[in-house]
Amino acid sequence: MLKKLFVTAVLLLAVLSFVVSLLKGNNSKDISLNVPECVAVVDIVGPIVSGTADGGVLNRVTGTGSREVMEQIREAAEDLSVRALLLNIDSPGGSPTAAEEIAEELARFKSVSKKPVVATMGDMGASAAYWIAACASDKIYANSTTLTGSIGVYVPYMDVKKLLDSIGVNSGMIVSGKHKGMMSIDREMTEEEKAITQNIVNEIHEEFLNVVAEGRHMDGQQLRSLADGRVYTGKQAKNVGLIDEIGNYYDALAMAAQLGGISGKPVVKTKAKPTPWETLLGAEIIGSLKTQIMQHFNAETGAVTVR
């Protein structure tokens, strides 16, 4: 009997904790007060992927998704209290499509809001991360030891045909066209397929170069000589014009505030970190439960929720 009572009490405490965390999350995220003269900080951390990088604990993807970054950029553009945008980057790169999506949103941000953009880099700001930093930033900051640059594109592939042959495994596929099986790991790529893939890589690389040349106001030939895929330290990157200043997050924040016309210490506005329940179940499920709980609460009390 005591064991049943104990288990019941623990379950009740867990449910109460869950509900309270939902309501607290609703208060912190949905109720918004206009704060004058603030800098919106968007974190771009880990590998950059197209779409969303948060799938809940059963499908957890580490890194940054382009969708969440674009949403934050749009929110900053529409928020009258935001005077400047700071991209806080610590990423080795990732999807060129994700970088392109974010770059287009940053271009829209500057065109529509007329607000300045500053980028700052931690340990890394390379490849697709540098694409994002260079596309629209008025100033780019990095530490002297930051690894940045890596302006280039690659498509990995693997051929394990000899290994399969050595263990007596035969494989094959039925295709609709001669190139449908391109880059299959059980056969060597043909020279024609290598040429097709190389053309794709070259095309994306040219787009990368164009974005950096325009964003950094650099001569195309000068940039091409730097864009052989190598990484640069922050100090080296400053010497060749890939970044503007050596400095840390707070130096970049101060510059964002200055460019945004903010006097004094700026207020920082950033996306709230996920609660433990959001990490466990996923933000979309928690968001739906929040809405249902608050609707029920408002119906019972007559309260009005400000969003």
pLDDT (tens digit, 0 to 9) for every residue of the chain, 307 residues total?
Answer: 555 555 455 455 555 555 545 445 444 444 444 457 899 999 999 999 999 876 555 555 579 999 999 999 999 999 999 999 999 999 999 999 999 999 999 999 999 999 999 999 999 999 999 999 999 999 999 999 999 999 999 999 888 888 888 898 888 888 898 888 888 888 888 999 999 999 999 999 999 999 999 999 999 899 999 999 999 999 999 999 999 999 999 999 999 999 999 998 899 999 866 555 554 555 556 566 656 655 655 555 444 433 3
Residues 116 and 249 in one domain: yes
Task: Give the model's pLDDT for residue 26.
Answer: 47
Residues 42 and 105 in one domain: yes
Q: How many domains does the chain have?
A: 3
Residues 130 and 173 in one domain: no
The single residue of 66, 95, 113, 127 carrying the catalytic annotation is 127
Please, what sign has the CA dihedral across residues 22, 23, 24, 27? Answer: positive
Residues 181 and 235 in one domain: no
Phi, psi at 210, each rounded to 5°: -60, -40
- From the CB of residue 305, how many other CB atoms can be counted at a distance below 10 Å? 13
Is residue 39 in a domain?
Answer: yes
Residues 267 and 135 in one domain: yes
Task: Give the model's pLDDT for residue 303.
Answer: 45
Task: Give the model's pLDDT for residue 28.
Answer: 43
How far apart, in whole angstroms, are the C-alpha atoms of residue 41 and residue 1?
54
Residues 85 and 197 in one domain: no
Contact by Cβ (8 Å): 95, 62: no
pTM of the model: 0.76
Contact by Cβ (8 Å): 154, 202: no
Decide: helix, strand or coil at residue 66: helix
Task: Give the model's pLDDT for residue 307.
Answer: 38
The question of whether 21 is a catalytic residue gets the answer no
Please identify which residue in the block is written with the tokens 């433990």: 276
The question of whether 180 is a catalytic residue gets the answer yes
Q: Largest Cα–Cα distance in the chain?
A: 81
Q: Which domain holds residue 285?
A: 275-307
Task: Give the model's pLDDT for residue 25.
Answer: 47
Alpha helical stretches, state H, 171-282: 191-216, 220-226, 234-240, 249-259, 276-281
How far apart, in whole angstroms, are the C-alpha atoms of residue 267 and residue 111?
24
Is residue 223 in a domain?
Answer: no
Residues 48 and 143 in one domain: yes
Contact by Cβ (8 Å): 245, 164: no
The single residue of 24, 178, 180, 265 carrying the catalytic annotation is 180
The structure tokens listed for 63 are: 């890194």
